[in-house]
Structure 1
Amino acid sequence: MPSMHIVDASPNPYTSVTRELTQAFAQEAEALDPALSVTRRDLGTNPPPHLDIGTIGAFFTPPDQLTPDQVQMSALSMDLIGEFLGADLVVFGVPMHNFGMPSGFKAYVDHVVRPGLTFQLTETGPRGLVEDKRLIVVTARGGYYVSDEMRALDNQESYIRAIFGFIGIDDILFVNCEGCDIDPEARQAAITSSKTRLSEVAQQLAA
């Protein structure tokens, strides 16, 4: 595992469960493999802007026809795509907000999932262009999503699997830290359990 890119989406820089978990995973992975290259992107404290008509127009303009303004409009998107494609393993830290995800993470997706760069439209349908990529998604949920009724409300995991599967990634592991808002004991138990699972993953990757 020569390179890992961590994307934290929580807007809470102080007591975020997902930040605590991605940090613990990164520390163990680096300890197991000192040669590991780790990069980070903080969407919580520095979220990408939501797309506007100008940026969308730049995305659909051929590269050799971009105006200087359009180059600037699409610069962040190109940076985010470069970070994403440049890593062997991408780790997302994504808290659940209203059964989905923080708006900053959705904006990130809109900057990364782009025709001609991460997927291709063909006569037979869309084709993902991202190959040989592993994705770990660390989530934090206030309640438990184990019953059929609660699973039906979980739009987070289904969306992330769908959108990143769309661009070609089928190696996606979810570590869902659930029950974080039940009480302090449940929160700590969930964090401890998730850290144990992530430690197992780090050891498997380093083996």
Structure 2
Amino acid sequence: MKILHLDSSARSGGSDQAPYGSHTRRLGQRFVRRWRASRPQDAIVHRDLGAQPPPPVDARWIHAAFTPPARRAPWMGEALALSDLLVDELIAADLIVIGAPMYNFGMPAQLKAWIDNVVRVGRTFGFDRARPGEPYWPLLAGQGKRLVLLGARGDYGYDAGGRLAARNHVEAGVATPLRYIGIELEAAIAVEYDEFADARLQASLAAAEAQVDALVDRLALSPPTRACA
């Protein structure tokens, strides 16, 4: 069992460690601590996108990614080196846990850059114009990979049916491209009321931490399993 844990908050440290710390880092650290206590044998890879953001894709990256490997010039391999590493980490993982705070109603730019680097033709999705029906297909489907999103929002009411649900582009923005390559959303947990910094924030934090604990306990008893080849 392998877990890929991604942090994307620009804030360093968890909000339980520093006055201006990150709620998503706090939830992610709690998830990992509880998982390690339950399943110490499992491998956990952590990548801090907030501290070391991947570069956004550019013209050279696109040219290289859409050139068949056998025809790539040496510079193309260099242009895709980090992307290849990020894709390898994703392919190796059974469970992907992402701290995804809301920035201006969407995900942080550094998380979007990671998504653009791992949604790769020939690596995580296939494309063939001659294929009957749908020319695109997910290459990571059927492997039991699951996604957990841990969020934080300044305002409140962003969940389905809430007062600001239509302005929430975080969960769908992350889950849609990952589902496209074959990774299903298992759960999304978020803290709200950050900008209010009152009792409602504390209640939201407590509720989110309880949800994280329950989620870890459930998943640890029935972890994702890879389909047999």
Residues 180 and 190 of structure 1 are in contact (CA less than 8 Å); yes or no, is this contact kept in structure 2? Answer: no
1:128 aligned to 2:138?
Answer: yes
1:185 aligned to 2:199?
Answer: yes
User: Mapping of 1:37-186 within 5 angstroms?
Assistant: 37-122=43-128, 123=131, 124-125=133-134, 126-131=136-141, 132-144=144-156, 145-146=158-159, 147-186=161-200
More helix by share: 1
1:170 Cα deviation from its structure 2 partner:
2.5
Match of 1:197 in 2: 211
TM-score, with structure 1 as normaliser: 0.94
1:148 Cα deviation from its structure 2 partner:
4.9
Number of corresponding residues: 206
Tell me the amino acid that sits aligned with residue 137 of structure 1: L
Q: Which secondary structure state, in structure 1, belongs to the residue aligned with residue 100 of structure 2?
A: strand
Tell me the amino acid that sits aligned with residue 5 of structure 2: I
Aligned mates of 2:184, 2:34 — CA distance in 1: 25
Aligned mates of 1:184, 1:58 — CA distance in 2: 50
Cα 1:79–1:171 change in 2 (3 A) is same
Q: Which secondary structure state, in structure 2, belongs to the residue aligned with residue 152 of structure 1?
A: helix
Q: Which secondary structure state, in structure 2, belongs to the residue aligned with residue 50 of structure 1?
A: coil
Aligned mates of 1:71, 1:196 — CA distance in 2: 45
Consecutive unaligned residues in structure 2, runs of 5 or more: 14-20, 222-229
1:161 Cα deviation from its structure 2 partner:
2.4
Aligned mates of 1:12, 1:75 — CA distance in 2: 27
TM-score, with structure 2 as normaliser: 0.86
1:56 Cα deviation from its structure 2 partner:
1.0
Q: % of aligned pairs identical?
A: 34
Moved over 4 A (4+): 146-149
1:69 Cα deviation from its structure 2 partner:
1.3
Consecutive unaligned residues in structure 1, runs of 5 or more: none
My pick for the range that moved more, 139-148 or 197-206, is 139-148
CA distances 1:1-59 after superposition (whole Å, capped 9, x unpaired) = x2111010001113011001100100000001110111101100100001111111111
1:62 Cα deviation from its structure 2 partner:
1.2
1:149 Cα deviation from its structure 2 partner:
4.3
Structural RMSD (CA): 1.4
CA distances 1:116-152 after superposition (whole Å, capped 9, x unpaired) = 1111124322211113201101010111114554111
Aligned mates of 2:198, 2:28 — CA distance in 1: 20
Tell me the amino acid that sits aligned with residue 3 of structure 2: M
Match of 1:3 in 2: 2
Q: Which secondary structure state, in structure 2, belongs to the residue aligned with residue 95 of structure 1?
A: coil
Match of 2:23 in 1: 17
Aligned mates of 2:73, 2:99 — CA distance in 1: 35
Tell me the amino acid that sits aligned with residue 168 of structure 2: D
Aligned mates of 1:169, 1:55 — CA distance in 2: 24
Q: Which secondary structure state, in structure 1, belongs to the residue aligned with residue 216 of structure 2?
A: helix
